Amino acid sequence: MPLRILRCHAASAGVAIALLTLSGCSTSQLVARSASPLIDHGVAAMNRETDLELARASIPANLKMIEALLLADPGNAAYRVQAAMGFYGYALGFVEPGDHARAIALYQRAREHALIALGHAGVTQATLTGEMANLQQALTRLDARAVPALFWTASSWGKWIELQLDDPARLAELPRVEALMQRVLALDETYYHGGAHVFFGVYYGGRAPMFGGDFIRAAWHFDRAAELNQNRLLLVDVYRARYLLRQMGEREAFHATLHRVLDAPASADPDLNLANALARKQAAALLAQEEDLF
């Protein structure tokens, strides 16, 4: 048999094997999964944006693109995490300051995406809402691969609760959120620039000690987050001022910390451009409210 024909047969066999391997996937699923590098690059490009108005206008279209891909591939845990992160960031940076009701809905939407990813990691919704002991057991079985789903579930769930503190049912869910984020700390405290430490800085700093606050623990978590991201994430100081220093009544430190954010040079990490631009905006807004806050 001529060599050229042998090559054709080999190629045909390769295609047949590939088709058999992918027979469980629809064409739309394959197309959706092939878009993964583009989505990753899109997230990176958005994180590097310095113009807040451009980011505000662009993010919704990007979120709808991810949700369109999820219609084709609903079991894609990576896209679920990207959607959760996107809805959370959009609500936090652009919606919550002016529209709490809409922000609550967006945080819930972020949480729903993250919960699906967490379910794929091994913690189902039934486990999350069931006996606390069963939830703790399920969390101990998770490894570092579950960290993104854990982190964004806890982050979006925590913000959803924060905007509904007058609802006892929401407050009763806080121990479950805490358990998820404690598992993030145990598995990878560096994830998202030390984000779990920022969470606990807010968690312990935003409440008076009689209601479960702990200013010493809050300060330690904020310091640890700053150490892990080498003081490059300015939101650490914004949240330190907004939650801890305000709760402590430390007006001078509050003022100095927020001015430090405004005066900070551009980060050496371009992936923090958008987060730091939002931090400066929030710092300016808090300083404008200083008289009312103290």
Comparing CA positions, the residue from 220, 218, 191 lying closest to residue 183 is: 191
Residue 198 has pLDDT above 90, yes or no: yes
- In this structure, are 213 and 277 located in the same domain? yes
Residue 83 is part of a domain; what is its CATH number? 1.25.40.920
- In this structure, are 213 and 280 located in the same domain? yes
pTM: 0.88
Q: How far apart are CA 251 and CA 241, in angstroms?
A: 9
- In this structure, are 42 and 163 located in the same domain? yes
Q: What share of the chain has pLDDT > 70, as a percent?
A: 90
- In this structure, are 221 and 159 located in the same domain? no
- In this structure, are 115 and 216 located in the same domain? no
Sign of torsion, CA 17 21 26 29? negative
Residue-level pLDDT at 24: 53
- In this structure, are 180 and 195 located in the same domain? no
Q: What is the pLDDT of residues 145-184, one digit of tens each?
A: 999 999 999 999 999 999 999 999 999 999 999 999 999 9
Q: How far apart are CA 175 and CA 243, in angstroms?
A: 19
Averaged pLDDT for residues 190-200: 98
- Cβ distance 224 to 190 under 8 Å? no
Residue 7 has pLDDT above 70, yes or no: no
Domain assignment of residue 141, yes or no = yes
Domain termination residue (choose one: 186, 211, 243): 186
Domain count, the chain: 2
Residue 33 has pLDDT above 70, yes or no: yes
Domain assignment of residue 83, yes or no = yes
Sign of torsion, CA 109 114 115 120? positive
Q: What share of the chain has pLDDT > 90, as a percent?
A: 84
Range of the domain at 294: 189-294
- Cβ distance 256 to 240 under 8 Å? no
- In this structure, are 200 and 96 located in the same domain? no
- In this structure, are 195 and 145 located in the same domain? no
Within 8 A by CB and 6+ apart from 69, the residues are 32, 35, 39, 76, 79
Domain assignment of residue 8, yes or no = no
- In this structure, are 36 and 146 located in the same domain? yes
Residue 176 — φ and ψ, nearest 5°?
Answer: -75, -40
Q: Which two tokens stand for residue 284?
A: 């300016």
Residue 10 has pLDDT above 70, yes or no: no
Q: How far apart are CA 39 and CA 227, in angstroms?
A: 30
Q: What is the pLDDT of residues 90-140, one digit of tens each?
A: 999 999 999 999 999 999 999 999 999 999 999 999 999 999 999 999 999
- Cβ distance 140 to 68 under 8 Å? no
- In this structure, are 248 and 276 located in the same domain? yes
- In this structure, are 200 and 180 located in the same domain? no
Domain termination residue (choose one: 186, 212, 228): 186
